[in-house]
Chain A
Amino acid sequence: MRVLATYNIKGGVGKTSTAVNLAYLSARDGSRTLLWDLDPQGAASFIFRIKPRVKGGGKGLVRRTSSLEDAIKGTDFDDLDLLPADFSYRNLDLLLDAQRKPVRRLRQLLRPLAEDYDTVILDCPPGISLVSESVMYAADTLLIPLIPARLSLRTFDQLTDFVKALDDRPPSLAAFFSMVDRRKRLHRDVVTALTAERDDLLRTAIPNATAIEQMAEQRAPVGVFAPRSVAAACYEALWAELQT
């Protein structure tokens, strides 16, 4: 079972769009996929038309008084299931903190799912907290969408140092530019310069596209309602790049 997680300290950088579209593509390619919407805002759950509610809430899952398997819902797509968000996830930090070895808890919770899923994608809330640190311990790869700006790169470098210092198997990092507006010269210049300058960035950039904004209206991944759009092609390219 391969665990991917979308993460950035900032909100609104395209984490959920990335998680939803990559989960859809993973399942479409025949990989049994689970998307866990860890963000209490529940955007990924909303897009898949699944109510952001988990029986027993985050407390039940973390304390294992309710089963993770029982909370899983099938989406409308073959091979793609979702573990919905719950508003109680806003207290996940506190709940994890009350456990022994809190940063390893998420990984422990995922372990029994290895029989059922080939790919798990964690859609992480923004911020740096015990939840995000747990995600780093649980994930094999962190997917990091970056707004095309020098400051984003600075944050990414800080994250790289933080991950390297983890006292366990650190996840690999897959950073890519997101919400790129080709009409903005700054975006074009930053993407061109930094992609040439650095070898730790993926080649694919995700555009700031209307199709991506429409996901919340259509309540579906881009590939479903706009399969020929540039945005759909970019997510395909990103998914392909992650397989290499």
Chain B
Amino acid sequence: MPDATAYFVADDADTVGLASALDALAQRFSVEQSVARSLLRTWLDTDDWLLHKAGMVLEQRESTTDGLRLILRRAEGREHTQPVEVITWPARIDALPPGPVRAQIEGVVGIRALLPVASLRALRRDVRVMNEDRKTVVRMAIESSPKSGATQLPDHLTVSAVRGYQAQADRVTARLATVTGIFAVATSPYEQALQANGRVFGDDVPTPVEMSASMPARNAVTAVIHSFLSTVERTLGGVISDIDTEFLHDFRVAIRRSRSTLKLSGDVLASGPAEQLSLDLKWLGDLTSPTRDLDVYILGLPDMADGLQSAAPADLDPFRDYLLSRRRTEFRLLVRALRSARFRRALDHWRALGLETEPSNPGKLTSAGELAADRLSRAHRRVTKRGSAIGADSAPEELHDLRKRCKELRYLLEIFRPLHDPATHRAVLRDLKALQEVLGEFQDSEVQGLAVREFALTMLSTGSAPARTVLAMGELAAQLSAHQRHARTAFAGSFAVFNSADSKRRFREVTRGSSG
């Protein structure tokens, strides 16, 4: 199992670089090298780099001698290897056979699919450096990419200490550092291949919008809406290919945020294009809702099944099949719409927003800071006013409405985050999030409970629900009602914290910061 690692690359101009490195080592150490073999290395991660964030590197390695293997390297240097049959990437975790690699990563990647993020063809020789007992103390790999390959990297050498033999690895590394024609680098072949493939860690997150309190409000709002557009464009392929459910989730969040931005701050833009885009975004929101709602039910089903008291989890299998079948239908409709001319036009409207020559509505709010302070204060007032009006007898609709107002406030806080003091911003967000969680549980439980009842009726009418499934669905509906009651009880406490003098003081600090 390898310990710490060092990397060297050959100088382009020096054709004997790595060969001379081995000669230099052989003078002082006992060195044995394998015959060269051809490799195809493909590195994998989720779209949001979950493995990288967990300090893991996952590689599929195909070689003429060892076949196809998955190799996982953890942050502390430990490696796990698992032979596999051909896997078609992107793939979700269930596509991986049970084994040590899958066991290590399934809790990390969860519902996200693994995608190839970089690949490299290489001719590789493995080198063992041994001590006087012919015990391997250092492992090295020398790789060169074929000059015709898609990804071109300089010839490179990786030095890995065997656990417990770091001192020997340090001596090897020090010796290699004196060899002309090669030089030490800080990046692994994976990082080099990523760079050559045009990828960087964290490229799923849009570049933060640059915003200052004094910049024109119109420019700030345009930049924010274009940043959401970049998320939509980046996730579109993953939505259409149905790589995993989170592409659609991210796609929808970007749409929803754009819609809210237009609703709450779009008045600083030219009215015609802003209104057109609002209509487009409403259409897109409605279009994506059925598939996303079904995703939420399907993803939540195992947990709900675990909570069944009298029915068995397997009783819900026909319900699951029904949900999957409905999702296939809804997804086909979604993809058709995303390939339509109407969708292309909507994207064109989005791209053109803010670039039009039509004058905007300057009003009194000409700077981003003024706009932020005004809109945040108004949104906060709406939340406190409506929340204060809610009592034990209030209708569920009043809580639903409050949830929407909270979301608007949350989006505004996120949009104008660059203008705020980070610590105060985090504290304000924490108070709001706690309230949103309770309201979310309340509404989601109600909506899902109604949906379960509706699904049960439809399944009964089509004869696709055996009695045991209907009974189990009844238990699910009861579970959801209990969640809703729990959320209703918790509401008063969460709102009291949000509405407290301390929380309001923090909010005033944030809005003061916005205005510069």
Binding site for B on A (CB under 8 A): 30-32, 48-51, 71-74, 76, 78-79, 81, 116, 118, 219
Complex interface: chain A residues within 8 A of B99 (CB): 30
Q: Whole-angstrom distance between the alpha carbons of A76 and B136 in the complex?
A: 6
Binding site for A on B (CB under 8 A): 1-3, 78-82, 99-100, 128, 133-136, 162-165
**Closest partner residue, chain B, to A69 (CB atom):** B163
Would A78 and B136 be within 8 Å (CB), given that A73-B163, A73-B164 are in contact?
no
Would A78 and B133 be within 8 Å (CB), given that A30-B81, A30-B100, A31-B100 are in contact?
no
Q: A30-B100, A74-B162, A79-B79 are in contact. List 20 more A-B contacts (CB 8 A).
A: A30-B99, A31-B100, A32-B1, A32-B78, A32-B80, A32-B100, A49-B133, A49-B135, A72-B163, A72-B164, A73-B164, A73-B165, A74-B1, A74-B2, A76-B128, A76-B136, A76-B162, A78-B79, A79-B1, A81-B163
Q: Whole-angstrom distance between the alpha carbons of A219 and B135 in the complex?
A: 10
Q: Whole-angstrom distance between the alpha carbons of A32 and B100 in the complex?
A: 8
**Complex contact B135–A118 (CB within 8 A):** no
Q: Whole-angstrom distance between the alpha carbons of A116 and B163 in the complex?
A: 13
Closest 4 CB pairs of A and B: A74-B163, A73-B164, A49-B135, A74-B162
- Our pick among A79, A81, A219 for the contact of B80 (Cβ within 8 Å) is A79
Complex interface: chain A residues within 8 A of B133 (CB): 49, 51, 219
Please give the distance in Å from B389's CB to the nearest CB on chain A.
52
Would A30 and B163 be within 8 Å (CB), given that A79-B1, A81-B1 are in contact?
no
Q: Whole-angstrom distance between the alpha carbons of A72 and B136 in the complex?
A: 15
Give the total number of A-B pairs whose CB atoms are below 8 A apart. 48
Q: Whole-angstrom distance between the alpha carbons of A118 and B133 in the complex?
A: 28
**Closest partner residue, chain A, to B76 (CB atom):** A116
**Complex contact B164–A76 (CB within 8 A):** no
Q: Whole-angstrom distance between the alpha carbons of A197 and B164 in the complex?
A: 48
**Closest partner residue, chain B, to A84 (CB atom):** B164
Please give the distance in Å from A24's CB to the nearest CB on chain B.
14
Complex interface: chain B residues within 8 A of A71 (CB): 164
Which of B3, B78, B128, B135 lies at the interface centre, i.e. has the most chain A CB atoms within 10 A of its CB?
B135
**Closest partner residue, chain A, to B74 (CB atom):** A116
**Complex contact B81–A78 (CB within 8 A):** yes
Q: Whole-angstrom distance between the alpha carbons of A46 and B362 in the complex?
A: 83
Complex interface: chain A residues within 8 A of B163 (CB): 72-74, 81
Complex interface: chain A residues within 8 A of B82 (CB): 30
Please give the distance in Å from A79's CB to the nearest CB on chain B.
7
Which of A74, A81, A118 lies at the interface centre, i.e. has the most chain B CB atoms within 10 A of its CB?
A74
Please give the distance in Å from A28's CB to the nearest CB on chain B.
10
Would A74 and B3 be within 8 Å (CB), given that A31-B100, A49-B133 are in contact?
yes
Q: Whole-angstrom distance between the alpha carbons of A76 and B130 in the complex?
A: 10
- Our pick among B1, B134, B135 for the contact of A78 (Cβ within 8 Å) is B1
Q: Whole-angstrom distance between the alpha carbons of A169 and B280 in the complex?
A: 66
**Closest partner residue, chain A, to B164 (CB atom):** A73
Please give the distance in Å from A194's CB to the nearest CB on chain B.
37
Complex interface: chain B residues within 8 A of A32 (CB): 1, 78, 80, 100
Q: Whole-angstrom distance between the alpha carbons of A1 and B134 in the complex?
A: 31
Q: Whole-angstrom distance between the alpha carbons of A241 and B246 in the complex?
A: 44
Complex interface: chain A residues within 8 A of B100 (CB): 30-32, 79, 118
Q: Whole-angstrom distance between the alpha carbons of A167 and B184 in the complex?
A: 58
Can you list 17 A-B pairs with a CB-CB distance of less than 8 A? A30-B99, A32-B1, A32-B78, A32-B80, A51-B133, A72-B163, A74-B2, A74-B3, A74-B163, A74-B164, A76-B136, A76-B162, A79-B1, A79-B100, A81-B1, A116-B78, A118-B100
**Complex contact A76–B1 (CB within 8 A):** no
Q: Whole-angstrom distance between the alpha carbons of A73 and B163 in the complex?
A: 5
Complex interface: chain A residues within 8 A of B80 (CB): 30, 32, 79
**Closest partner residue, chain A, to B79 (CB atom):** A78
Q: Whole-angstrom distance between the alpha carbons of A73 and B161 in the complex?
A: 11
- Our pick among B1, B2, B3, B135 for the contact of A50 (Cβ within 8 Å) is B135
Please give the distance in Å from A44's CB to the nearest CB on chain B.
14
Q: Whole-angstrom distance between the alpha carbons of A78 and B133 in the complex?
A: 19
**Closest partner residue, chain B, to A78 (CB atom):** B81
Please give the distance in Å from B163's CB to the nearest CB on chain A.
4
Please give the distance in Å from B104's CB to the nearest CB on chain A.
10
Complex interface: chain B residues within 8 A of A81 (CB): 1, 163
**Closest partner residue, chain A, to B135 (CB atom):** A49
Please give the distance in Å from A37's CB to the nearest CB on chain B.
14
Which of A30, A51, A72 lies at the interface centre, i.e. has the most chain B CB atoms within 10 A of its CB?
A30
Please give the distance in Å from A26's CB to the nearest CB on chain B.
11
- Our pick among A48, A74, A116 for the contact of B165 (Cβ within 8 Å) is A74
Complex interface: chain A residues within 8 A of B3 (CB): 74
Complex interface: chain B residues within 8 A of A31 (CB): 100
**Closest partner residue, chain A, to B3 (CB atom):** A74
Please give the distance in Å from B161's CB to the nearest CB on chain A.
8
Complex interface: chain B residues within 8 A of A74 (CB): 1-3, 162-165
Q: Whole-angstrom distance between the alpha carbons of A108 and B2 in the complex?
A: 26
Q: Whole-angstrom distance between the alpha carbons of A72 and B133 in the complex?
A: 18
Please give the distance in Å from A107's CB to the nearest CB on chain B.
23
Q: Whole-angstrom distance between the alpha carbons of A78 and B81 in the complex?
A: 8
**Complex contact A76–B135 (CB within 8 A):** yes
Please give the distance in Å from A48's CB to the nearest CB on chain B.
8
**Closest partner residue, chain B, to A51 (CB atom):** B133
Q: Whole-angstrom distance between the alpha carbons of A68 and B404 in the complex?
A: 56
Complex interface: chain A residues within 8 A of B78 (CB): 32, 116
Complex interface: chain A residues within 8 A of B2 (CB): 74
**Closest partner residue, chain B, to A80 (CB atom):** B1
